[in-house]
Structure 1
Amino acid sequence: MTAEMVRGGLAAATAGVLAPGEVGEDPAAVLLVDLATRRVVHANDLARQLAPALALPALVDHWSDAAGLRDLDGEELSETAHPLSLAAQGLPVPGQAVTARRASDVSARREPLFAIGLPLSEAPGLGEHALVVLIPLHDESAAGGATALARSQARVREQAVLATGTSFTVADARAEDSPLVWVNPAFTAVTGYSAAESVGRNCRFLQGPDTDPAAVGLLREAIAAGREVAVTLLNHRKDGTAFWNHVALSPVRDGRGEVTHVVGVQSDVTARVEADRARQAALLAEGVARAGAERAGRAAEASRREAEQAGAAAAAALREAQLARADAERANARLTLLAEGSHVLAATLDTDEALDRLLGLIVPTVADWAVVNLADERGRLGRPAVVRHRDGHEALLRRYAELVPATLAPGTPLHDLLQGGPPRAWPDFSPPPVEGLTEGQREVRSISMALGATSLLFVPLATEREVLGTMMLVQGSSGRGFDDDDLEVAADLGRRAGLVLDNARLYGRQQRTALALQRSLLPRLPTLPGVRLAARYHPAGHDRQVGGDWWDVFALPDGAIALAIGDVMGHDIAAAAAMGQLRSVLRTCAWNGDEPATVLERMDQLVQGFEMAQLATCVYARLSTGAGRGAQLRWASAGHLPLALLPADGPARLLSAPAGVPLGVPVGERRTHTEVDLAPGDTLLLFTDGLVETRGGDIEDDLARLLRDLAGHRPGTPPEVLVDRLVSERSDRTDDVALLAVQVL
């Protein structure tokens, strides 16, 4: 290696601006979601590339389908794990790795992204919106082979953890000097500036004398031109310390195409930069060392003493290079652990499951055993949530975790955490003397000795508002100890776990409220002459008990029977409330005894006028019965599935009618109705798509399977038996089911 090569390499390693691609300078996909309508109302250029055929505004579910969002394995995301669905409910999404469909038709590979969602409740002019940012994670698996794939997956996880520390800002592009109008807590944590100190100022206050002017110029030019830009530059915190900041700016435009705001996505990538530089320095040092060794060898004949000295210097340089490389590898290992932790925490809103997965990563990689306790509503440690030991010992761990809350005393680490204290390390732990301990404290001491405890870490699971729990990590039988780096990693995992716990608690509260609302809105089956009725509502799963599926049946003043089935898109309070509104509107519109098509047209007008639902389908039918003489059915459909008929004397069949468009869609076409005569013993089925649809299946095939299922039931089967069998025959449903069966007497 020549001196010029060494000098050139050192210059590259110490430049004020990163070389392109060193951390990844791609812009992020930015979406603005209207919480009231659950619609994506703005998408920047990269977001439009992910869903190029979709016009805005568009429902978040439609945008997700158009972009082909899936999990890292390419499987569909559940409602509770879908970042867009959570963001549209006003819930923060701290970070979740997903994949999107690629535009290329020649590759089956998917684009890895990291999704972050933030409600903008405190941003002027954007208070009823949420920001969703999809950060590209470079995928290098195209190189081919298992080794390349493994390297790519590790790289994606490493980039994901960088994304989880992301800061967000919103600047007012219409005001002079484009001042910040909103910053998220991560921005204040990274920079040290409070929101009050940041809002109202241009974010150039983060720059310093060593910030590269060329990078600043790129930002200034992009803002003036209203285009997206992404650079990495050196910024400074409030305390004066420098950090590497990856900044991506995206303009937000109004309906006229004018830029109203600029969204900033900023990531502290200092750890990654330092790791890259450590690797670079290691390679340079190795080159210097080898060059020194070669020179020493050539000079050996002239002076053995000089050769030995040069060799010793080269060996020392080589050792330093190896130490630098080891430091870089440890830094990468910490990044990988944080990325894995973020992924497992974001994958579920079930608290125990998320924490159990987290401890599965920590034990035995970081600690020999660990205990997580959750705080109750009064801020006191309650039940043990999760325990894990590298050698099992679950019974001992459970007993230990149960005893800890009762043995807390002021001044102890866990007590201090609950009072808002910082994370704490106890690197050289030894059990306290037995004298003066209570019976419970003695048992805790005994169990600690049995499990092995020589080095401890205590970290809170907290949000900005409160402490939700504590996590204790312990080294014992392995003989390892904790250092400051371990404490930093554990504290970071604790913060991420605190956000997940807070999200899960908020989501659970919303679900309980929505479930109570929905149950109060579903009707009770009446007893009506000439028919036998049965109905069922079946939620898709234990984690998603609320939906917009509904049914109704009631007697009309003229003696006919009104039947209805409908489906409002969504699985939240808004869907349940919209379902209740539609049911009330239908009863009002149907009460005069008008034809089904007329009833649906009146509903169209009201749904459009009052903006009751985002997207809803419905079938409304009138059943006129005659004692023992059968009945006449008239029905109209607003974008809903056909009805099914199980005749008393023939095979099951579908009753099709013009499907029409969903309720509230302004197309200007008149709706029509269809009629059919029913015989005594015939059973009519009205159902929502959850009864028949399969993931990735064709609806025609799904309906054909329903007819095959009905063929296995004898004509005249009691309707309550029929609906129970139809609902229970398939346990793999991914959507809610509403089912109404009407048997003519």
Structure 2
Amino acid sequence: MRALAYRASSVLTQRGSGISTIAALQRHTRVPYVFPTPMNFMLPTPHSQHPWTAVRGCAPVVSTHRGKRTGVNDFEVDDVVQRALDRLTLLAETTTAMTSTLDPHAGVQRVCRIVVPQLADWCAVDLLEDDGRPRRVSVVHRDPAVLPVGGLTGLLPDVPEDPVGPLARVLVGAGPLLLTAADIRSPGEAADPLHLRQLELFDQLGTDTAIVAPVRARRQVLGALTIGRTNKRPPLTADDLATVEDLTHRIALGVDNARLYRETQHIAERLQRSLLPTLPGSGPVRLAARYAPAATTAEVGGDWYDSFPLPNGSTTMIIGDVTGHDLRAAITMSQLRNMLRGIGCDRQEPPGHILRRLDLAHHSLYPHATATCLYALLDRGDDGAWTLTYSSAGHPPPLLVTYDGDTRHLDGGHGLLLGVEPDLPRPHATETLPARSTVLLYTDGLIERRGEDLTNGMTRLRQHAAALAREPLDTFCDELLAGLTADHTDDVALLAARLPTASSAP
């Protein structure tokens, strides 16, 4: 379908796209339009869940201009419409590239491959590091053979205090800047190291004209976009500045969103870790714990672990998971942990009794919240044998790993989740532990996979743990996380205890 004119009031696109198309038509044809015969056709739309937007338009008609009948050149309007559609397509593809990933470097590399060759012969993106130093993260040329092995990416010299070169000026807020052949000097005329790197780039890529524009979001410059054309294509002009500015706006939104996500993720992780305890460092039993936030979210979770000695000499091993992934879950987790510490130290009862008391308190204070918890006591008898007495409130069973690599889950002492039925008695079980064996407590994020039966995850855990049975305890924990938590969608906590050799018994 040949599109020749549009009804401006019917263009349902985002800011800076459809309306600019109408403006371009009127600016180039300089003829007022009338629309007697509407037609429907589609335009690509950035920032929309629908990749195309319906537009009402019509064929050109003879219009009245100062009392005269004025005709519109069909080919001129066709060319304007085609260029406007190409611009909209470029912007839509850029938006898709930046919103399809939370890695800003990957996003800008995709954008560069879109810009080249649609708009330029080559494209480069420089982003400012946290310390303010620029890093060239992507350089794309329409002829890959022009680029040296390894590309032209990497850290750049610092931005000078008195910026002279176009890149330095843009990185402090100027621009966008259009550089003609007369503005692009030889590398020998560079004013500073950063200017030298930019002129070397122009020289190496055979640049005739270029545009350098700031990548700016929330009144802060995040980097710069540079595009260039050789003398084999029409030069870049002032008409291209608006397109480049729209491009940098979309790049900036993507980069800024990715950085905000990263900062939020780090804040959530620091908050979570601040709520976790320091493990006892003395005694014959070695303890190690790990916490890993969800790889695909920046939410605070309710996973937790704890271990502390009781006045009677027992060593507690505790792990739990409060339902939810928000600040409320983290607060509930912290308060449950502190209540359990107080109940355990005060009562020094079997684990089933302790969990029942915790459930009663939990039901009174948080009547609408549920949680899982496993409370265990490590004790050494007079004969030197170690035992684990434990009770589970809906939590995955502990895993026992012997020094020889035999593994089995400890399924005794299982009861309902906390917050379901606090009046029911809670069982506990006791297991004799071999010397040099490892006891592992963990949350469900270590074994659960979307669309997979839970038994598959438990089997996978046993296989990994068996292979690590003789590794140092820290290595044991690190390798379990590395092998089982790739792209996990839930946070993970684990607590491991390594028993001493039989000869160390009194």
Same fold (TM over 0.5): yes
Q: CA offsets, 1:243-298, max 9 Å, x none?
A: x9x9xxxxxxxxxxxxxxxxxxx98x9x9666x52xx427x99xxxxxxxxxxxxx
For residue 304 of structure 2, give the secondary structure of its aligned residue in structure 1: strand
User: What does residue 122 of structure 2 align with?
Assistant: 369
User: What does residue 596 of structure 1 align with?
Assistant: 351
Q: Does 1:384 align with 2:162?
A: no
User: What does residue 281 of structure 1 align with?
Assistant: 59
How far did 1:698 drift?
A: 0.9
Write the letter of the residue equivalent to 1:386: S
Q: Does 1:507 align with 2:222?
A: no
How far did 1:494 drift?
A: 1.3
Q: Quick one: structure 1 residues 498 and 598, their matched pair in 2 at CA, closer, same or farther if it must change by over 3 Å?
A: farther
Whether contact under 8 Å (2:134, 2:157) holds in the other structure is no
Whether contact under 8 Å (2:286, 2:498) holds in the other structure is yes
Q: Does 1:358 align with 2:114?
A: no
Whether contact under 8 Å (1:429, 1:456) holds in the other structure is no
Write the letter of the residue equivalent to 1:506: L
- Alpha-carbon distance in 2 for matches of 1:608, 1:483: 70
Q: Does 1:706 align with 2:484?
A: no
How far did 1:590 drift?
A: 1.9
For residue 494 of structure 1, give the secondary structure of its aligned residue in structure 2: helix
Q: Quick one: structure 1 residues 710 and 363, their matched pair in 2 at CA, closer, same or farther if it must change by over 3 Å?
A: same
Whether contact under 8 Å (2:136, 2:154) holds in the other structure is no
Whether contact under 8 Å (1:636, 1:674) holds in the other structure is yes
Q: Quick one: structure 1 residues 647 and 611, their matched pair in 2 at CA, closer, same or farther if it must change by over 3 Å?
A: same
Whether contact under 8 Å (2:160, 2:192) holds in the other structure is no
- Alpha-carbon distance in 2 for matches of 1:533, 1:376: 38
**Matching residue within 192, 214, 235 for 1:481:** 235
How far did 1:506 drift?
A: 3.1
Whether contact under 8 Å (1:461, 1:497) holds in the other structure is yes
Stretches of structure 2 lacking an aligned partner (at least 5 in a row): 18-42, 63-70, 501-506
How far did 1:564 drift?
A: 0.7
For residue 621 of structure 1, give the secondary structure of its aligned residue in structure 2: strand
**Matching residue within 313, 337, 348 for 1:583:** 337
User: What does residue 334 of structure 1 align with?
Assistant: 87
- Alpha-carbon distance in 2 for matches of 1:408, 1:512: 35
Q: Quick one: structure 1 residues 604 and 370, their matched pair in 2 at CA, closer, same or farther if it must change by over 3 Å?
A: farther
Q: How many residues align?
A: 454
Q: Quick one: structure 1 residues 406 and 688, their matched pair in 2 at CA, closer, same or farther if it must change by over 3 Å?
A: same
TM-score (norm 1): 0.50
Write the letter of the residue equivalent to 2:134: G
How far did 1:641 drift?
A: 1.3
User: What does residue 320 of structure 2 align with?
Assistant: 566
Stretches of structure 1 lacking an aligned partner (at least 5 in a row): 1-8, 24-161, 167-243, 247-265, 286-315
- Alpha-carbon distance in 1 for matches of 2:376, 2:180: 73
Q: Quick one: structure 1 residues 406 and 603, their matched pair in 2 at CA, closer, same or farther if it must change by over 3 Å?
A: same
- Alpha-carbon distance in 2 for matches of 1:401, 1:635: 55
User: What does residue 456 of structure 1 align with?
Assistant: 210
User: What does residue 692 of structure 1 align with?
Assistant: 447
User: What does residue 676 of structure 1 align with?
Assistant: 430
Query: What is the alpha-carbon root mean square deviation over aligned residues?
Result: 4.8
- Alpha-carbon distance in 1 for matches of 2:370, 2:84: 49
Write the letter of the residue equivalent to 2:136: P
- Alpha-carbon distance in 2 for matches of 1:646, 1:613: 37
**Matching residue within 252, 268, 272 for 1:498:** 252
Q: Quick one: structure 1 residues 598 and 400, their matched pair in 2 at CA, closer, same or farther if it must change by over 3 Å?
A: closer
Whether contact under 8 Å (2:440, 2:495) holds in the other structure is yes
How far did 1:357 drift?
A: 2.5
Whether contact under 8 Å (1:418, 1:460) holds in the other structure is yes
Whether contact under 8 Å (1:372, 1:386) holds in the other structure is yes
Q: Quick one: structure 1 residues 366 and 553, their matched pair in 2 at CA, closer, same or farther if it must change by over 3 Å?
A: same
Q: Quick one: structure 1 residues 733 and 420, their matched pair in 2 at CA, closer, same or farther if it must change by over 3 Å?
A: closer
- Alpha-carbon distance in 2 for matches of 1:426, 1:485: 13
Write the letter of the residue equivalent to 2:229: Q
Q: Quick one: structure 1 residues 345 and 610, their matched pair in 2 at CA, closer, same or farther if it must change by over 3 Å?
A: farther
How far did 1:356 drift?
A: 2.3
Whether contact under 8 Å (1:453, 1:476) holds in the other structure is yes
- Alpha-carbon distance in 2 for matches of 1:436, 1:531: 69
- Alpha-carbon distance in 1 for matches of 2:166, 2:367: 53
Q: Quick one: structure 1 residues 528 and 611, their matched pair in 2 at CA, closer, same or farther if it must change by over 3 Å?
A: same
Q: Which protein, 1 or 2, shows the higher relative CO under an 8 Å CA cutoff with sep ≥ 6?
A: 2
How far did 1:699 drift?
A: 0.6
TM-score (norm 2): 0.70
Q: Quick one: structure 1 residues 368 and 381, their matched pair in 2 at CA, closer, same or farther if it must change by over 3 Å?
A: farther
Whether contact under 8 Å (1:368, 1:478) holds in the other structure is no
For residue 134 of structure 2, give the secondary structure of its aligned residue in structure 1: strand
Q: Does 1:550 align with 2:328?
A: no
- Alpha-carbon distance in 2 for matches of 1:500, 1:612: 42
Q: CA offsets, 1:348-375, max 9 Å, x none?
A: 3333232222222222322222233334
**Matching residue within 482, 494, 505 for 1:739:** 494
User: What does residue 147 of structure 1 align with?
Assistant: none
- Alpha-carbon distance in 1 for matches of 2:388, 2:153: 65
Q: CA offsets, 1:195-240, max 9 Å, x none?
A: xxxxxxxxxxxxxxxxxxxxxxxxxxxxxxxxxxxxxxxxxxxxxx
- Alpha-carbon distance in 2 for matches of 1:529, 1:419: 58
